[in-house]
Amino acid sequence: MSEHHDHGHAHEGSATMAERVRGLVERLEKKGLVTDAQIEQTIHAFLAHAGPSNGAALVARAWVDPAFKARLLEDANAALDELGIDMSHWARVTLRAAENTERVHNVIVCTLCSCYPIALLGPSPAWYKSAAYRARVVRDPRSVLAEFGVTLDPGIEIRVWDSTAELRYVVIPRRPAGTEALSEAELAALVTRDALIGTARV
């Protein structure tokens, strides 16, 4: 199992992330640089284009285009640009794709908060943000995955990728057998948010 914990989350220190964000917004509003309505409008506009369909499209393209998959694994941010998925809200954030294979299964977590590629997966589920998932999937990922219905052979290596404020992950699940005749859009329809996290198979 691979673990990645030595990183600086944005909320380290005396103030929580929510408190820091609230303070920043208040200062911007006092200076007349932004209004609460503008912030809400920006959030709604972002969420309107953020969802697991983006991640599913990424996976489907990787399944049908080996050259694209190679670029995705090399530089996921650039691959998203090719698909026209907007990453502009992710200033300084690097995306990495982790590919599931016959011998390796990947799962993502954020042990200290809930850093998460919203543009690709949509708003994070409650269980992803829970203390139980964040702690247990690192210590005993095989058992946690089994609780999600993903039972893996003992010989399969499980790699747990710990997201940070600067680095996010997306899982590229294995393409199901017997899908050779499906179109790219039909393949994308098979991919779920949980498969992009690594807690489900396609």
For residue 98, give the CATH number of its domain: 3.90.330.10
116-to-19, 66, 154, 199 alpha-carbon distances in Å: 19, 26, 28, 14
| CA dist 10 → 62, 129, 161 (Å) | 31, 16, 17
Q: Given 2, 14, 114, 143, which residue is catalytic?
A: 114
Asked, for residue 49, whether it belongs to a domain, the answer is: yes
Helix (H) or strand (E) holding 73, with range, is helix 66-74
Residue 10 lies in a domain: no
| pLDDT on residue 62 | 97
pLDDT per residue over 47-99, tens digit each? 445 568 999 999 999 999 999 999 999 999 999 888 887 655 555 689 999 99
What's the CA gap between 150 and 140, in Å, rounded?
A: 13
| Residue 45 domain flag | yes
- pLDDT in the model for residue 44: 47
- What confidence score (pLDDT) does residue 10 get? 40
CA–CA distances in Å: residue 141 to residues 37, 102, 109, 198: 42, 17, 11, 11
Is 121 contained in some domain? Answer: yes
**In a domain? residue 96:** yes
Whether 61 contacts 136, CB under 8 Å: no
Q: Which residues contact 123 (CB under 8 A, 6 or more apart)?
A: 47, 50
Name the domain count of the chain.
1
**What integer pLDDT is reported at residue 13 of this predicted model?**
37
Can you give the pLDDT at residue 20?
Answer: 64
CB atoms within 10 A of CB 142: 15
Give the pLDDT of residue 197. 97
Answer whether residue 7 shows pLDDT above 70: no
Tell whether the model's pLDDT for residue 3 goes beyond 50.
no
Taking residue 163's Cβ as centre, other Cβ atoms within 10 Å add up to 25
Distance CA 172, CA 68 (A): 13
Candidates 2, 14, 53, 115; catalytic one: 115
Q: Which member of 14, 53, 88, 113 is catalytic? A: 113
Give the largest CA-CA distance in the chain.
59
Average pLDDT, the chain: 83
Residue 89 has what pLDDT? 57
**Which of 110, 124, 163, 183 is an active site residue?**
110
> pLDDT grade, residue 21 (50/70/90)?
low
Residue 53's domain comprises 17-197
Residue with tokens 């911007």, as numbered in its chain: 28
Is 53 among the domain residues? Answer: yes
- The verdict on whether 113 is a catalytic residue reads yes
Which residue in 12, 62, 43, 17 sits closest to 170, CA to CA? 62
State yes or no: is 124 an active-site residue: no
88 is catalytic: no
Residue 114 annotated to the active site: yes
Is 7 inside any structural domain? no
Query: Would you say how long the chain is, in residues?
Result: 202
